Chains A and B, each alone.
Chain A
Amino acid sequence: MDIIEIKNLNLFYTNFHAIKDVNMKIKANKITALIGPSGCGKSTLLRTLNRINDTIEGVRIEGDVIVNGKNIYDPDADVDRIRRNVGMVFQRPNPFPLSIYNNVAFGLQINRLVSRKDETDFIVKESLEDVQLWDDLKDKLKMSGLELSLEQQQRLCIARLIAVKPEIILLDEPCSSLDPMATAHIEELMQELKSKYTIVIVTHNMQQAARISDETGYMLLGKLIEFDATGKIFTNPSKQETDDYVSGRFG
């Protein structure tokens, strides 16, 4: 089932045409990877999926991004609700300078999603369990999130995000500041999470895209050159440009 449908999407940074006529359908409970050389528009495309680009001055967007049948660019769309439903994890872990507990509970409290302490406790526990931090941190919930290792911080950021029950998780180079072992752990976590969430990941690491994703899109100069099953993209892509990129001859 398609959870996101991008139709004729164009994005301009003032006069710069950063996304050009992108059309793609993203399947629910799958991992979709976006790859391409620096500046190709993959992060920009990812950011259109929860309207984070709206915060940048001079951005103009044309086309539709339909999530669960509703165009998130409709004038009456509730941006806060969209961003709760489509959460984002960034390159460097960015926990708040708060306790582990309060990091995870932050979205619940600010959005007034729960009123009772025991409900918050339950969701904090459930979220930390989902990112496999609960067993290690259940006795240290008052410790600052900033005291954790980078990998744990990134897991904490994912827990903070899933506490508000999104359907879609966007990850923008989530492992670029992690060592290989921590990267492997986060990749494993993504595989665990996809049964509950739809994941879209931007990565520079092609082997990572090959390892973890179900479908891969290759972008170049703002265009989506090819979008297909990951197995096909990495064994027999339809476009020569894709083959040149994935085989390291270009980019």
Chain B
Amino acid sequence: MRHFDLEMNDLKKKLVDMASLVQEMIKISVDEIVKRDESLSKEVFIREREANLTEIIVDDTCLKLIALNQPVGADLRFITSAMKINSDLERMGDEAVNICEIGLNLLKYPELKPLIDIPKMASAVTIMVKDSIESFNLSDAELANTVLTKDDEVDELKRIVFKDLLQFMTNTSDQTTLSRAVDLMLIAKSLERLGDHATNIAEDVIFMVHGKDIRHIKSI
């Protein structure tokens, strides 16, 4: 195998490792809220530092690969996609941290209501994240396509969560109830953003495999 191919494989491994880390962060942050265990937040914060460091290392690796090898064709698409996926993964880590921090505030008070749709959202988003990374790892554009479809499901769940919480808010003037409802909305928003980042990754994978840019097709 050429030295360049070894370096490309190493880049792929770094990104897949970072994706595992981010997947853990998402799972732990959701567990913190569902299991009402604030001690889990520490685990997320520790991993965030690692994710931030990996983002810098991956970007540096990509820049060196471009500068020293002048890649073209599939190699160029792989590296530019890797840079974008890297940025999406880091922001997914940030969303997990957001969920955790809001969770810490939320856990100071009793449960507003049993959580039903938020765990459903979390589970759909987890599948999207897993599949988007798997599609990158296997260069599987078909799997990437399934992620795009799943995003509609997450958006619909977010709509339901918002609707339910708005109902709570209109029926109360209690400050803590309002504050907990807003926190749950922010968590739903963060989960939706996670789905959007997974969608971005899936779009990058389709570009990487087929050289076809499918972003914003409906709006342009």
Contacts and interface: CB of A to CB of B under 8 A. Distances in A.
Interface of A: 206-207, 210, 234-237, 242-243, 246-249
Contacts of B167: none
Interface of B: 2, 4, 70-77, 211
28 contacts: A206-B72, A207-B70, A210-B72, A234-B72, A234-B73, A234-B76, A235-B72, A235-B73, A235-B76, A235-B77, A235-B211, A236-B73, A236-B77, A236-B211, A237-B73, A242-B73, A243-B73, A243-B74, A246-B72, A246-B73, A247-B71, A247-B72, A247-B73, A247-B74, A247-B75, A248-B2, A248-B4, A249-B2
A242 B2 CA distance: 18
Nearest to A236: B211
Contacts of A236: 73, 77, 211
A216 to B, nearest CB: 11
Contacts of B211: 235-236
A114 B205 CA distance: 62
B209 to A, nearest CB: 10
Given A210-B72, A242-B73, A243-B73, 10 more contacts: A206-B72, A207-B70, A234-B73, A234-B76, A235-B72, A237-B73, A247-B74, A248-B2, A248-B4, A249-B2
Contacts of B76: 234-235
A234 B70 CA distance: 10
Main secondary structure of the interface of A (DSSP, over half): helix
A149 to B, nearest CB: 28
A235 B4 CA distance: 18
Contacts of A206: 72
A120 to B, nearest CB: 45
Contacts of B73: 234-237, 242-243, 246-247
A250 to B, nearest CB: 11
Contacts of A210: 72
Contacts of A237: 73
A127 B141 CA distance: 54
The residue among B2, B70, B73, B77 with the most chain A CB atoms within 10 A of its own CB is: B73
B9 to A, nearest CB: 14
A243 B210 CA distance: 12
Nearest to A249: B2
Nearest to A246: B72
A226 B76 CA distance: 19
Nearest to A238: B211
Nearest to B69: A248
Nearest to B75: A247
A234 B72 CA distance: 5
Nearest to A245: B73
B62 to A, nearest CB: 16
A88 B76 CA distance: 34
A113 to B, nearest CB: 43
A207 B68 CA distance: 13
Closest 9 CB pairs of A and B: A236-B211, A243-B73, A234-B72, A246-B72, A247-B73, A247-B75, A246-B73, A243-B74, A237-B73
Contacts of A249: 2
A248 B72 CA distance: 9
| Best-surrounded residue of A235, A236, A249 (most CB of chain B within 10 A) | A236
A160 B169 CA distance: 84
Contacts of B75: 247
A5 to B, nearest CB: 28
A211 B76 CA distance: 15
A234 to B, nearest CB: 4
Nearest to B74: A243
A206 B75 CA distance: 15
Contacts of B4: 248
A54 to B, nearest CB: 36
A242 B74 CA distance: 11
Contacts of A234: 72-73, 76
